[in-house]
Chain A
Amino acid sequence: MSEEPVSTGLLSERVEDIEIHLLLEGLYRRYHYDFRNYAQASIKRRLRQAREQLGYRSISALQHDVLHDPDMLPRLLSYLTVQVSEVFRDPSYFKAIREKVIPHLRTYPSLRIWIAGCSTGEELYSFVILFREEGLEQRTLFYATDINQDALAKAEAGIYDLDRFQLFTENHRKSGGKSSLSDYYTAAYGKGAFDKSLRNRVVFSDHSLVTDAVFAEMHLISCRNVLIYFDRPLQDRAVGLFKDSLARKGFLGLGSKESLRFSQHTASFSELAPGDKIYQRLDR
């Protein structure tokens, strides 16, 4: 082969793409937060937002401050991990949990439920309320995990803007709610605060689906709209973690546009409620 001029392919890589790669690598090596296998289009969008709103000229400038100042980390994480959910989001999912999963769970004397990637807690409160209405709350331990400490703190506070509660109430009703959602929160000063008794059986904990391991045996894992942010290999890791964390015949619930169809673990699960993306671990 004759000598070629420097590859234009490499040179044409966009500076911003290089910066994003370096920032994510730095974030992992400095703080052990691993976004390297997240779906890149959405990460790029949120890093651009962070750069703009935090007032940086470039991603590299942002990277400099994040690497040197640990106080910057939570601010950046709030951009990288913000996910907006609702209480009883996708009511048909919770209706399917009530009608198809709860009858199985009733047969156990004690239950462990994992809300993985619980973000600011909307999904957690949905589950605790549902379990209270079904008479299972007192024998259940709920694990709510996320990598974002600020989000976990909000989940633990259970306080949301009052104008969201109209939607929450409507969702709860459509999910087959057996009481009024207003039984579970107090409204004041433009906020709605969920009753602290809803947290009696909840353990909040920092856990990463990317880097951490199995921590208990679960009867139900709900992980909604988290896998869509992962690339395929990372989706496989997370689903493998769920598989290993589930008791025999345990249940896994995903987001309405997520599926195990392309997962390397698909053969380990059966579809309990295909339209609502609820799976059951096969007994092998």
Chain B
Amino acid sequence: MSDRSHQALPPEAIVIGASAGALQALSELLPLLPADYPLPILIVVHIRPDRDSVLAHLFQSKCAISVREAEDKEPIQPGTAYFAPPDYHLLVEQDHTLSLSSEEPVFFSRPSIDVLFESAADAYGEGLTGLVLTGANQDGALGLKTIVDAGGTAIVQNPQGAYATAMPEAAIAQCPQAKIMTIEDISAYLLDLGRNHPGRNSRA
């Protein structure tokens, strides 16, 4: 206990934004996380607004952590991945509940990565880790900067290995402090975040 008081606050949540190539990238990350992963993961993937989202369904069968589509006013649970529903923005409230919104699209996108990242940065501050993965637009760049400005950690998928490079490149340009990692490195990083987390019910 006394050791911990000298350390920085433990991470509280992870937000991920991805667009073109998202399925492949997320398939290399989410299934690796163990069932007792102590952090919640909030995800915006750009999807067509007029389709029912199958993302949560798809990943639930592949993942040890719980995966679902976010619902309005739902309290955020550890070890759970929440996908923003199609045609709604996903936001985080100060009391760590989720809310949905049908405000205007941002960069033609609803859900928007920036909207999730900015609200999560307000709610979690330095406890937040934000990841921008593959994608062909610029959504997420401003949001990632907001996360860093609030004291959180920014990670961007290395554009060289990304299916689409525009989104990671825009994020790096807006947020030069971001750590640039391959998907393999990001996997290891997320696993470490969980392994070293005091909230993990390992051998208590």
Question: Does B196 sit at the interface, judged by CB under 8 A?
Answer: no
> In the bound complex, do residue A262 and residue B85 qualify as a contact, i.e. CB atoms below 8 Å apart?
no
Q: Does B71 contact A (CB under 8 A)?
A: yes
A259 to B119, CA, bound (A): 23
User: Which residues of chain B are within 8 angstroms of A231 by Cβ–Cβ distance?
Assistant: 73
Cβ proximity bits A248-259 to B, threshold 8 Å, 1 near / 0 not? 000000010111
Contact among B92, B101, B123 for A228, CB-based, below 8 A: B101
A41 touches which one: B71, B88, B92 (CB < 8 A)? B92
Contact B85 A257 (CB under 8 A): yes
User: Pick the contact of B99 from A83, A84, A228 — CB < 8 Å?
Assistant: A228
Find chain A residues with CB under 8 A from B115 CB: 45
A228 x B103 contact (CB < 8 A):
no
Report the bound CA distance from A41 to B73 in whole Å. Answer: 12
In chain A, residues 33-72, which have Cβ atoms closer than 8 Å to a Cβ of chain B? 39-42, 44-46
Assembled-state Cα–Cα distance A227/B102 (Å): 11
Q: Is the CB of A40 within 8 A of B93?
A: yes
Tell me which of A41, A83, A257 has the highest count of chain B C-beta atoms within 10 A of its own C-beta.
A41
Report the minimal beta-carbon distance from B120 to chain A, rounded to whole angstroms: 9
Within 8 Å of chain A (Cβ to Cβ): is B94? yes
Interface positions of B from 71 to 109, Cβ below 8 Å from A: 71-73, 85, 88-89, 91-94, 99-104
Tell whether B36 is near chain A: CB-to-CB under 8 Å. Answer: no
Interface status of A229 (Cβ within 8 A of chain B): yes
Residue of A nearest to B74 (CB): A262
A232 at the interface (CB under 8 A from B): yes
By the criterion CB–CB under 8 Å, are B73 and A232 in contact? yes
Least CB separation from A84: chain B residue:
B104
Among A40, A42, A83, A84, contact of B94 (Cβ-Cβ < 8 Å) = A40
- A82 touches which of B85, B99, B103, B119 (Cβ 8 Å): B103
User: What's the least CB distance linking A122 to chain B, in Å?
Assistant: 12
Nearest-Cβ distance from residue B126 to partner chain A, whole angstroms: 12
> A83: which B residues are within 8 A, CB to CB?
102-103
What total count of A-B pairs have CB within 8 Å? 58
Taking the complex as formed, is A78 at the interface, i.e. its CB lies under 8 A from any CB of chain B?
Answer: no
How many chain A residues touch B (CB < 8 A): the figure is 23
Q: How far apart sit A39 and B74, CA to CA, in the bound complex (Å)?
A: 12
- Check if B91 sits within 8 Å of A257, measured CB to CB: no
CB contacts under 8 Å to A, within B158-180, are none
Among B72, B94, B99, B104: residue with most chain A CB under 10 A: B72
**Alpha-carbon distance between A148 and B76 when the two chains are bound, in angstroms:** 33
Q: Tell me the complex Cα distance, A227–B6, Å.
A: 43
| With A45-B115, A257-B71, A257-B72 as contacts: A228 and B100 at CB distance below 8 Å | yes
B73 in contact with A42 (CB, 8 Å): no
Q: Counting CB contacts under 8 A, is A225 at the interface?
A: yes
Q: Does B139 lie at the interface of the complex (its beta carbon under 8 Å from any beta carbon of A)?
A: no
Nearest to B118 among chain A residues (CB) is A45
**Cα A42 to Cα B91 with chains together (Å):** 7
Q: How far is the CA of A145 from the CA of B89 in the complex (A)?
A: 24
Q: Roughly how many angstroms separate A228 CA and B74 CA in the complex, as a whole number?
A: 11
Report Cα–Cα, A259/B85, bound state, in Å.
Answer: 14
B113 → chain A, closest Cβ, in Å? 14
Chain A residues with CB below 8 A from B118, complex form: 45
B113-152 CB mask vs A (1 if < 8 Å, else 0) is 0010011001100000000000000000000000000000
Q: Are B122 and A44 in contact (CB under 8 A)?
A: yes
Cα(A257)–Cα(B123), bound, Å: 22
Chain A residue at minimum C-beta to C-beta distance from B101: A42
Q: Which residues of A contact B102 (CB under 8 A)?
A: 83-85, 225, 228, 255
Q: Chain A contacts of B122 at CB under 8 A? A: 41, 44
Q: How far is the CB of A168 from the nearest CB of chain B, in Å?
A: 13
Q: Taking the nearest CB of chain B, how far is it from the CB of A254, in angstroms?
A: 10
Is A257 a contact of B104 with CB atoms below 8 Å?
no
Smallest CB-CB A-B distances: 3 pairs: A41-B91, A41-B119, A39-B99
| Chain B interface residues (CB < 8 Å from chain A) | 71-73, 85, 88-89, 91-94, 99-104, 115, 118-119, 122-123
